[in-house]
């Protein structure tokens, strides 16, 4: 088997959703999807034609087997996903409508992934041959062992010359549950990253300080400058900018900033009749990574990333199973030329 171009590390989750726009358990049925922030990125990249492997731990039962099987159906290598005693992490989704927002209830404490010992991962072997490692701030928020494993993965990648992609995904309630030092751990992860998916709020958590600029893009500019000064390895910062007009109508734009002064802005797109916004940020991250891997220029990269994120809002479930052609059709091949 050829080595993966991208390795994703994180927890596979099962999503149990109320059908349509019903309230949770309004009727005695639930729609089931597989997901997880890092897995969502992996699935998207696989559909973009990249060799992707998932690393993690699932429950050694039919639920864990089904979750791993879903990744394989989308072309992701799961040979590095271990099975262990324990339970699958779950979350329950009520999809909003009208004036009622969507609501998520997590049930992932003491999952097989969260309880897995950090020394159970042989990172030099798991990362062998990879060019990128994708991580998120959700994994270290799950507990001490998961935090140590995430840090070990990032440091091993740096030692092997593998680029680290890190999505901030700050989840304060998860950190509070076990009393983890979010700022210190996230700072160490940012320090390993080649690109971070983060905005001024994430940078504020990690580095402290506030960004009082009235303009949203100015706040991101200031946060990026602070991040580049603090983290010598960091080359790029990317983020979306969302305005929610209603549950079903959002405006979504994006920015990509580089250490070298690169500044690319994708103008906001109007998303109407939103089907499912879960996983939209992961689809965006995968689109940006695709652009960097393929050598797109900054403008092409951020437009491709935003288009991928926009498309996800039209697809039920956590995954964004669309290919390059579908994303390029939304971007409009006449709107930019890819310079390699």
Q: Hey, what's the torsion of the CAs at 122, 125, 126, 130, to 10 degrees?
A: 150
34 - beta bridge partners? Answer: 14
All structural domains of the chain with their residue ranges? 6-333
Over the chain (340 residues), what is each successive 10-residue block's mean pLDDT? 85 95 92 96 97 98 97 97 96 90 90 96 96 97 97 98 95 90 96 96 91 91 96 97 89 96 94 91 97 96 97 95 94 51
Given a contact cutoff of 8 angstroms between Cβ atoms, the answer to whether 106 and 251 are in contact is no
Give the pLDDT score at 257.
98
Q: Cβ atoms within 10 A of the Cβ of 177, count?
A: 13
Q: Could you give the CA distance from residue 168 to residue 277 in angstroms, rounded to a whole number?
A: 18
Its pTM stands at: 0.94
Given a contact cutoff of 8 angstroms between Cβ atoms, the answer to whether 275 and 316 are in contact is yes
Give strand ranges (E) for the chain. 6-9, 13-17, 31-35, 52-59, 77-84, 89-94, 103-107, 132-136, 163-167, 195-197, 236-246, 249-258, 263-272
pLDDT tens digits, one per residue of 23-82: 999 999 999 999 999 999 999 999 999 999 999 999 999 999 999 999 999 999 999 999
Q: Which CATH topology does 6-333 take?
A: 3.40.1190
């Amino acid at each position: 088997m050829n080595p993966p171009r991208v390795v994703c590390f994180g927890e596979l989750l099962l999503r149990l959703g109320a059908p349509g726009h019903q309230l949770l358990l309004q009727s005695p049925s639930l729609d089931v999807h597989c997901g997880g922030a890092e897995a969502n990125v992996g699935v998207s990249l696989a559909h973009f034609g990249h060799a992707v492997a998932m690393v993690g731990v699932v429950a050694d039962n039919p639920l864990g087997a089904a979750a791993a099987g879903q990744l394989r159906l989308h072309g992701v290598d799961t040979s590095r996903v271990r099975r262990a005693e324990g339970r699958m992490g779950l979350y329950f989704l009520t999809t909003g409508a009208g004036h009622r927002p969507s609501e998520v209830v997590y049930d992932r404490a003491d999952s097989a992934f969260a309880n897995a010992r950090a020394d159970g991962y042989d990172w030099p072997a798991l990362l062998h041959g990879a060019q990128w490692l994708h991580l998120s701030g959700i994994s270290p928020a799950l507990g001490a062992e998961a935090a140590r494993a995430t840090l070990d993965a990032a440091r091993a990648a740096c030692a092997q010359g593998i680029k680290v992609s890190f999505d901030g995904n700050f989840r304060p309630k998860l950190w509070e549950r076990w009393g983890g030092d979010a700022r210190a751990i996230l700072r160490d992860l940012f320090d390993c990253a080649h690109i971070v998916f983060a905005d001024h709020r994430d940078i504020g958590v990690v580095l402290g300080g506030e960004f009082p600029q009235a303009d949203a893009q100015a706040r991101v500019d200031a946060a990026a400058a602070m991040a580049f000064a603090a983290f010598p390895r960091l080359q790029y910062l990317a983020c979306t900018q969302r305005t929610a007009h209603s549950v079903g109508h959002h405006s979504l734009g994006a920015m990509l900033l580089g250490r070298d002064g690169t500044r690319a802005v994708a103008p906001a797109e109007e998303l109407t009749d939103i089907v499912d916004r879960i996983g939209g940020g992961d689809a965006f991250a995968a689109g940006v990574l695709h652009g960097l891997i393929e050598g797109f220029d900054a403008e092409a990269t951020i437009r491709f990333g935003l288009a991928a994120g926009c498309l996800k809002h039209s697809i039920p479930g956590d995954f964004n199973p669309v290919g390059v052609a579908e994303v390029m059709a939304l971007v409009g091949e006449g709107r930019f030329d890819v310079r390699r």
